[in-house]
Structure 1
Amino acid sequence: MLAKSFVLFAALASAVIAAPQRPAPGRTSCKPTTTAKASTSSVKPTSTPVTIKSTSSVSPTSTKAAVVETRTLPNTGAGTQLPAPAAGSVLKMIALGHGLQNYSCATASGNASATGALAVLYDITQYFPGTARTGLPANIFNDLSKLLLYGQDLPLNLVNAAAAKPGTPAKPNTLPEKQYVAVTSAPFKAPADIKFGPITAAKEIGRHYFASPNSVPTFDLSAKTGLVARVQKVDAVTAPASAEKGITKSGAVAWLRLPDNGASVGVTEVYRVVTAGGVASTCDIIGQGEGSVPYTAQYWFFGKA
């Protein structure tokens, strides 16, 4: 009898353990749900830009067709725009320039006269929005000028080396414009690739300067690309009011179209767009003599197909 009772008790216990449990009153057994966060980005297109196509080269033995990537030349979003590139032009490269706009004041009054520029050029073509694997979001790509301006020291030899430090957007290293002047005999440092902001590798591809004896605006990319642009200033439009005013907070230099002057190699015209900084103060602030202002800008190089 005792053995039978033990077997019956064990069977009942097993049934109780195996039975499904009900949730306690007032509770549910639903799994928690995750609610996706709404995007906080407020970036909006500001223009109807000109579209240029750039065709990448494909090996003759390849069975694939040439890849055509669309590059969109920026515009200021309002008012008169720079003329479109010549028909049949091909985009060769997009570079980000970082350096100085140079000025001179004959007296201690009036406006400063532009006397040239010095800049190091970095290749950012692969970061253009929509480029497979390496393209950046449009709002970040258009912010690269500002990010470089504050993200790297000036890549030039300055008379006052401390002036190469940019500071931050909230607390820029603002100095008298005479303090930013480059060493005349050797303004450029040894070539060096850089990284800043979202850019893990921006390769130095050339230099921008005004060549003697006629102060010709020159972009020398020959060592890395074979391209040399010797240009003339033909068209200019004011930078957008929203453009980064720069370390001296005096404003962003104008956007330019710079056609070949007849002595370029592989380049028919250059566009300077998306500028940050570079505008001179008036001569009563600069004082008589030479002065320079840090700047950055995108440079778009076009040539024949």
Structure 2
Amino acid sequence: MRSSILLASALGALTTIAAPTWPALNMNAAMPGSLDTVSAYFNMLARKVQESRQMTVAPVCDLSKAQLPEAPVPLPPVSAGLTLKHVAVGRGTQNYTCDTTNATAAPVQVGAVATLFNASCVVSSYPDLANMITKMALRFSLTDEEARLGPSNLAISGMHYFTNTTTPFFNLDRPNLQLGEAPSAKLNGTSAPADAAKGPNGEAAVPWLKLKTRDGATGDLQEIYRVETAGGSAPATCAGMPATFEVQYSAQYFFYSGHKST
């Protein structure tokens, strides 16, 4: 009940391979123990709203000011000549299979499905608030209805899924924002920070990644970083797990190209 009241108040203050089913947030189903995270987000949001009212000029969405987060063991840097084109918050599931005849076997990742939400202006203007959005997004359960990033009020900018077990795909072509499509491949990975947010059932954060786009990418999209992850990791073994299962996660995705940022 307190979460519902908090959400209503905050909203009032704001002027795979097979065909995937896109996850959506259930705004009326904040997960147990989520109130502190949600409250912290809205407390910071309230401060940002107050600060913006005191500014003589409104904040400008300038991605040249955005900073790619850095893990304790850094990922390789962005290649020379590329600029940040888009930042999205992804919310969905990491998908796994298990050998149910072998309880000691490790789960095998077979892809992910996520809805991407436009966080470019938030990251460029309020990076501290952007970091909290990833954690806050994971505090609300998923439904199979139309995707909405609930209280963050971010617009959908694309979809993320796998076209096969080794090809993550990002579709950023939307009616209101044509940014391109990007089949990609993993170049490098590094562990998420020790204090990264866990999933609804205590799942550790999936690694941070650097991806390179494959042939067929459009919009001059060339490199993608998955950072600020929360949840998504599978258990160490298949003991007690079904043949297929999903683990909820959220993350930030930084898209780099040779074109002007959007």
TM above 0.5, one fold?
yes
CA offsets 1:68-102 (integer angstroms, 9 cap, x no match): 732211011x2x31111111111111000000000
Identify which of 265, 280, 293 aligns with 2:247.
293
For 1:229 and 1:93, the matched residues in 2 are separated by: 13
* 1:207 and 2:159 correspond: yes
1:194: which partner in 2?
149
Shift of 1:285: 3.6
CA offsets 1:164-218 (integer angstroms, 9 cap, x no match): xxxxxxxxxxxxxxxxxxxxxxxxx44x44342xx3x200111100115x65210
Identify which of 104, 109, 119 aligns with 1:124.
119
Identity, % of aligned positions: 32
Identify which of 54, 62, 79 aligns with 1:86.
79
1:143: which partner in 2?
132
More strand by share: 2
Amino acid at match of 2:114: A
Which structure's relative contact order is higher, taking Cα pairs within 8 Å and 6+ residues apart? 2
Residues 1:193 and 1:263: Cα distance change in structure 2 (over 3 Å)? same
Q: TM-score, normalised by structure 1?
A: 0.59
Which aligned segments of 4 or more residues in structure 1 are displaced greater than 4 angstroms?
none
CA offsets 1:211-250 (integer angstroms, 9 cap, x no match): 15x6521011112324111100110000000001111212
Amino acid at match of 1:259: K
1:176-187 maps to which residues of 2 (within 5 A)?
A: none
1:158-169 maps to which residues of 2 (within 5 A)?
A: none
More helix by share: 2
1:266-281 maps to which residues of 2 (within 5 A)?
A: 266=219, 267-281=221-235
Shift of 1:288: 4.7
Helix, strand or coil at the partner of 2:65 = strand
Identify which of 104, 107, 114 aligns with 1:112.
107
Helix, strand or coil at the partner of 1:122 = strand
Identify which of 173, 177, 181 aligns with 1:228.
181
Number of equivalent positions:
194
Shift of 1:140: 2.6
2:141: which partner in 1?
153
For 2:211 and 2:189, the matched residues in 1 are separated by: 9
1:71: which partner in 2?
66
Helix, strand or coil at the partner of 1:86 = coil
For 1:114 and 1:126, the matched residues in 2 are separated by: 32
Helix, strand or coil at the partner of 1:142 = helix
Query: Contact conserved, 1:122 with 1:204, CA < 8 A, in 2?
Result: yes
